[in-house]
Chain A
């Protein structure tokens, strides 16, 4: 492990200015991914700039829509008195994120910026049509979360940008959503995960949002399945088709956790089961 300086700025402007000044500096949030990479020798930053003491990045604010500060820990999400009622799918996913000790330090912003295809909070945010706010010295911008993920470990963040907020629209009263995750054991990185959100009008699906994790280079919207479902009565045949399309449209890899075939299979099964579960609700 190399040596590096550690900075803990007290404002967002200071953090951005520091980063601008120190070549090779890296922002660090909870550190549960960054530190592992440093210890393994995968990255060698010249300095770490901690975002932990920046008040602008913490806290959850609600006035109709919801703003989640990027330094909100996974535990804080779970313990928040209202979030689990307003966005239960996000909290279901947060509960399946790692274990209690890691959840106490890992942040939602870090989970997204690490941009692992298996990031547990990514798929629920995709089906909730979340937006993220990014800030640099030049200013800030807001983009849909779908555009945030570019490739494995690669986001649209420039190296001098900070993800400051996750923005969620007020929940639609008719929307129901579910998160499903397959691991080798309960506490595991997802072998495959699926989030499904449906707005039903009697038997007809008015709006559908589906996303899958660990089955593509990035957390993936399953747009073809959404198109298949929207405007249609969800029949058993349609469910079979949804399962098939899900398995076909993803592009998983074979690795130590599972084979490509198994991941395709699980995504299809979970899409079908997820929809079925929502229809029963």
Chain B
């Protein structure tokens, strides 16, 4: 397939008009008959024993239907390490620990009831930095593990490690080396739509939950387990996903508020809705982890990398979500961005009394690339090589297998670097100083899904109706990124119908086949591959039926024409003889024989043929279901080896900045971005993905940080958590897409959901260094940090 009808072209977003008109139903808009409003009482200490919880006054408040604590509900352990609880007993370990919850007839009563709950605490010494967590005699955040075994330290029992080649050989082969320590802050996903859910039980104790999730099927599994823990073993959960106002990774695990809504709904027998306010979203939803990375790299006199040593320390916070597995992705750039023969990678995750963390776009990659690409410039400086040339010397190439065992099918990194250098006028502008500078950074990321779970699959069903419409049931999540737009295009393209005849149904575990989740930039990759497979199945069946039915319909066409015009002569073409399954084509919703005369009456509309298939003796309706598990491997993370993705995405970004050395302010003059996307599926959606991610990258570089003091978040609002606005993004972004036409990607494409923010921060930092000769090692690069660095210089 190279001559595409819809792929590569702009297609309208199916839900666009509804969203613009306020008709799309977000969790905030949903109401169920008899619905109650849930509210959570959070801890007032970062680390303390719970001495007593008094709920009596709350229970007596009119309108309150339930007040629950860990003492009057079944224990629900959550998280993949089972170290978290829906409601906390005996001890709180972070400010956002849930100690009680209420369900009431209206939100104001629920809020009032929360105020009436009093909790007595006995404060304990807390740990607020991962370095302190590692000290001898540090207080233990968890005294025991999930199985009740005593713990002796605050280190999580998760090992992500890689060693390849011989680091000593690499060190001695190095003529130059550079060492640096880099850190990244806690940052928030900042979804426009805050988190929330509605939980509802039927009389047979089956649960329906409307959840803001990116993993409906893993959530179903988690919730079924909770039902079992509630004594409802064998009962089932149906997860329905409403319109999502952004995900960015925040929906990649189940959340305590969901379990609390489930407990409240069960207790009251009524639907219960919990939706976070913006303040709650900032203070009580998990952000991106903070990291500390130490990196040393060396190169020979020609500038070829000889070794790389990377150690990462992550602040996990008080409990564990899937976000703790960031190092599974950090390993990719650590081992495989640029060709480096001798690599050491190790990571350590520790518990603290800070807010616990979760997934966010890029999943460890922006954190690691921040250190790696900053250090690449440091090393280039040591070696006296232009940083752009230095990257080209070490550039990855198609066909290589990296130290981690990643099989690089296609790789456009070289073209990306060339594009960025050209767009920035690199040779002319680099190294001139005078407060203006240019910098660049590269990235690699999974581009063909990423196997971090036992299954990396997605299923898809297409049900054809009597009118030529394709009803699609897919478990992947549209969260604003444009998945349904592309799914519409993919089904239209692969099946041969018009996009307006593709209907994407809401994501619902009751109707859609299993899907591991919309993460790892896999949305379009998986949707496209499943759509292609399902369409092929349907085309085969349509063409089989057409052998018998198509000639009859053409005969009807001709008869009709002859009735109108007695002189009409049918062409000299034997339709019945030509009606063989391999000679049919279906395009734009019409079936025809490829080598037949291109006349209107020689074509049959798909709906008409489907009706002919359906409405006759022993008729049929056509449905196709497929289940696609991509050709990748679950790596051995303790050894750091395995081809985690079917293909890999590459890219480079560059920035030109001007630094005000008096105020420390950084002005971005322009940015350039070039991404190996395999194939452009939809230009507008793709640009949206890259521009949006790049803006998040600018925020990560210059502005964003959840500030906290002893575990308490100090800026839980957009007043003091600053993200770049349109006026901060008021600079040209020169964007180029490199099409490498990957064999594994649908229509040649690669996943690009996350890459756009991965190299942004180091590109900006490298440009700042080029401008004023100072390097800030901890994000965000604030004016005050620049001034401090300039003062030291």
- Interface 0/1 of B766-793, CB less than 8 Å to A: 0000000000000000111001000000
Let me know if A257 is at the binding interface, CB within 8 A: yes
Within 8 A of A (CB), among B653-678: 662-663, 665
Assess whether B707 is in contact with A256, with CB atoms less than 8 Å apart. yes
The reply to whether B663 and A182 form a contact with Cβ atoms under 8 Å apart is: yes
Q: Is the CB of A188 within 8 A of B715?
A: no
B185 → chain A closest CB, angstroms: 13
Residues of chain A touching chain B, judged by Cβ–Cβ distance below 8 Å, are 1, 3, 99, 182, 184-189, 256-259, 262, 265-266, 269
Q: Tell me if B720 and A185 are in contact (CB < 8 A).
A: no
- Write the residues of chain B forming the contact surface with A, with a CB cutoff of 8 angstroms: 108, 111, 662-663, 665, 703, 707, 714-715, 719-720, 722-725, 727-728, 782-784, 787
| The one of A182, A185, A258 that contacts B724, using a Cβ cutoff of 8 Å | A185
The residue on A at minimum CB distance from B699 is A185
Q: Is the CB of B784 within 8 A of A1?
A: no
**Contact between A186 and B715 (Cβ–Cβ < 8 Å)?**
no
Instruction: Give CA–CA (A269, B280) in the complex, Å.
Output: 38
B residues near A99, Cβ cutoff 8 Å: 725
User: Is the pair A259, B663 in contact by a Cβ cutoff of 8 Å?
Assistant: no
Mostly, the A contact residues are loop
Quick one: given A187-B725, A262-B783, are A257 and B720 in contact (CB under 8 Å)? yes
Q: Within 8 Å CB of A266, what residues of B?
A: 663
List 4 extra interface pairs beyond A188-B722, A256-B720, CB under 8 A: A1-B108, A184-B722, A185-B725, A265-B787
Whether the Cβ atoms of B784 and A187 lie closer than 8 Å is no
Q: Is the CB of A262 within 8 A of B784?
A: yes
Tell me which residues across on chain A come within 8 A of B665, comparing CB atoms. 182
Please report the C-alpha to C-alpha distance between residue A184 and residue B707 in the assembled complex, in whole angstroms. 14
> Which among B663, B723, B782 has the greatest number of chain A C-beta atoms within 10 A?
B663
A222 to B504, CA, bound (A): 63
CB distance from B146 to the nearest CB of A (A): 37
B324 to chain A, nearest CB (A): 28
Q: 7 smallest A-B Cβ distances: which pairs?
A: A186-B727, A185-B722, A184-B722, A185-B728, A187-B725, A269-B662, A262-B784
> Contacts A184-B703, A186-B728 known; A256 to B715 CB distance under 8 Å?
yes
Q: Contacts A1-B108, A1-B111, A186-B728 known; A258 to B784 CB distance under 8 Å? A: yes
Bound state CA distance, A259 and B782, in angstroms? 12
Number of A-B contacts (CB under 8 A): 39
Return chain A residues, CB-CB under 8 Å to B727: 185-187
Q: Which residues of B contact A188 (CB under 8 A)?
A: 722
Nearest chain-A residue to B720 (Cβ)?
Answer: A256
- C-alpha spacing A185/B665, complex, angstroms: 10
CB neighbours (8 Å) of B783 from chain A are 262
Which chain A residues lie closer than 8 Å to B784 at the CB level? 258-259, 262
A262 and B719 alpha carbons, distance in the complex (Å): 19
- In the complex the two chains form, what is the Cα distance from A266 to B728 in whole Å? 20
Q: How far, in whole Å, are A29 and B783 apart by their CA atoms in the complex?
A: 36
A85 to B351, CA, bound (A): 60
Closest chain A residue to B115 by CB distance? A41
B706 to chain A, nearest CB (A): 11
CA distance A177 to B535 in the complex (A): 68
Cβ of A155 to closest chain B Cβ, rounded Å: 22
- A256 and B724 form a contact (CB under 8 A): no
The docked-state distance in angstroms from the alpha carbon of A257 to that of B727 is 19
| Complex-state Cα separation, A265 to B787, whole angstroms | 11
Chain A residues with Cβ below 8 Å from B662 are: 265, 269
Closest to B111 in A: A1
A201 to chain B, nearest CB (A): 29
Complex CA distance for A188 and B727, rounded to whole angstroms? 11
Q: How far is the CA of A276 from the CA of B722 in the complex (A)?
A: 30
Q: Hey, which chain A residues are within 8 Å of B723, CB to CB?
A: 185
CB distance from B304 to the nearest CB of A (A): 41
Task: Name A189's closest neighbour in chain B (CB-CB).
Answer: B719
CA distance A271 to B303 in the complex (A): 48
From residue A115, how far is it (CB to closest CB) to chain B in Å? Answer: 17
Known A-B contacts A256-B714, A257-B720, A258-B784; the reply to A269 vs B725 at CB < 8 A is no
List the A side residues contacting B720 at CB < 8 Å.
256-257
Q: Determine how close the nearest CB of chain A comes to the CB of B259; give it in whole angstroms.
A: 27
How far, in Å, is A221 (CB) from chain B's closest CB? 23
- Looking at the assembled complex, report how far the CB atom of B129 sits from the nearest CB atom of chain A, in whole angstroms: 19
Query: How far is the CB of B220 from the nearest CB of chain A, in Å?
Result: 36
Residues of B within 8 A of A256 (CB): 707, 714-715, 720
**Interface CB pairs A-B, < 8 A, 19:** A1-B111, A3-B108, A182-B663, A184-B703, A184-B722, A185-B703, A185-B724, A185-B725, A185-B728, A186-B725, A186-B728, A187-B725, A256-B707, A256-B714, A256-B720, A258-B784, A262-B783, A266-B663, A269-B663
Question: A258 contacts which chain B residues (CB < 8 A)?
Answer: 784
In the bound assembly, the distance between CA atoms of A266 and B664 in angstroms comes to 10
Nearest residue (CB) in A for B723 is A185
Chain B nearest Cβ from A3, distance in angstroms: 8
Residues of B within 8 A of A186 (CB): 725, 727-728
Closest to A40 in B: B279
| Shortest Cβ distance from residue B724 to the other chain A in the assembled complex, whole angstroms | 6
Q: Separation in Å of the A162 CB from the closest CB of chain B?
A: 27
Which of A185, A256, A269 has its CB near the most chain B CB atoms (within 10 A)? A185
Residue of A nearest to B698 (CB): A185
With a cutoff of 8 Å between Cβ atoms, the chain B residues found around residue A262 in the complex are: 783-784, 787
